[in-house]
Structure 1
């Protein structure tokens, strides 16, 4: 039985993960971390991870970037693997996550969906084949409660395209003050926030007289929750310190 501690247990994703784990025989949530410390499920909830003195095999983090440093402190102290699903980290936090991976297994991904991660491979192939002849634009849509923009997933998609292009692309997030034709070597990234949109991402390769669009739409948060639990199972089994992502999970499947 895999023992999971869930950071952000009372949030939207935390509640979905709790429900999924309740229907699995091989995993159990033994503790939750939430700033308010409110108990909403059948496991104890702590405002601070350091208050938890029990044992767990892995932590899933779907909380807020403000909790990252404290969570990493706990994981390093207790040598606990951690699956980081939270997005919006700054450069200092990303550097800290990378440093922690030298001592413990760390999984980090801007999107936990299997479909999105397969989409990354398609984008790399498109960028290699289409190269200089196509402009690249990315549009992402999310609910009106999402804090970061652009989404971590949009940046993942942009990075996949950028690494396969024959030129050094510039990310452009806002054009409303630019009075000029679109430069060739850029990747435009646009964010939409509204309603209860779970998550939609489109990448357009726009060429002369033709457009190729690769699109992913999440119909519920469950696709991300399932990915997070799969990542936790993978990380707890791999043992070795390192920085892992969904491509490693896909390869293990």
Structure 2
């Protein structure tokens, strides 16, 4: 469990890279609390490219704030959670820029028109797709898409190694990709 991992890491003063999703508020609180003792790097997605995508999406949301925004994520047919943690990270990035945004998961059963403050989030599960995330900004007569495709899971390991190299040079604290990427 995350509690066992945090207990071990704080007792041994071991810096910790956390690259998983699905923590509840209590668990997130314990992670933040442990970061007062040891350096902790936490990201729901360890891909350097995805984290740059989130920065780009935030910039686009600032500039295209009157556009409709939709997020489509695709993964393999064995993935359990929907939407993905990465799709939620992207949506949260938009919400930082446009705080009145409301998440709408899919459109099934809806019979009203789209509200201007919606962020549509859609999950596709099929085949062996490692991961694909597209953020669509659709305005009057123009569309901008920002997309990332993971072609193998190697990118997550590479990002985790880069995070560990970054983390061992840090003091106790809570770090993420924004800290590492500058």
When the two structures are superposed, what TM-score results if normalisation uses the length of structure 1?
0.69
Return the offset for 1:213: 0.5
Hey, what's the Cα distance between the residues in 2 that align with 1:173 and 1:189?
5
SS in 2 for 1:237: coil
Larger Rg: 1
- CA separation in 1, counterparts of 2:33 and 2:103? 26
Aligned to 2:172: 241
Name which of 6, 17, 20 aligns with 1:86.
20
Secondary structure of the structure 2 residue equivalent to 1:87: coil
Query: Alpha-carbon deviations, 1:184-242, whole Å to 9, x = none?
Result: 1111111111221111000000111111100000111111110001111111121x111
SS state of the match for residue 103, structure 1? Answer: coil
Q: 2: CA distance between counterparts of 1:197 and 1:140?
A: 10
- The one of the two structures with greater contact order (alpha-carbon pairs below 8 A, sep at least 6) is 2
Stretches of 4+ aligned residues off by more than 6 angstroms: none
Distance in 2 between the 1:197 and 1:138 partners? 17
1:162 alignment partner in structure 2: 95
- 2:77 aligned to which of 110, 127, 144: 144
Match of 2:143 in 1: 211
Q: Equivalents in 2 of 1:175, 1:73: separation in Å? A: 43
Q: CA RMSD in A?
A: 1.3
- 1:155 Cα shift? 1.1
Which 5+ residue runs of structure 1 have no aligned equivalent? 1-66
Question: How far off its partner does 1:142 sit?
Answer: 1.0
Distance 2:70 2:30 in 1: 31
Normalised TM-score (structure 2):
0.94
Unpaired runs of 5+ residues, structure 2, are none
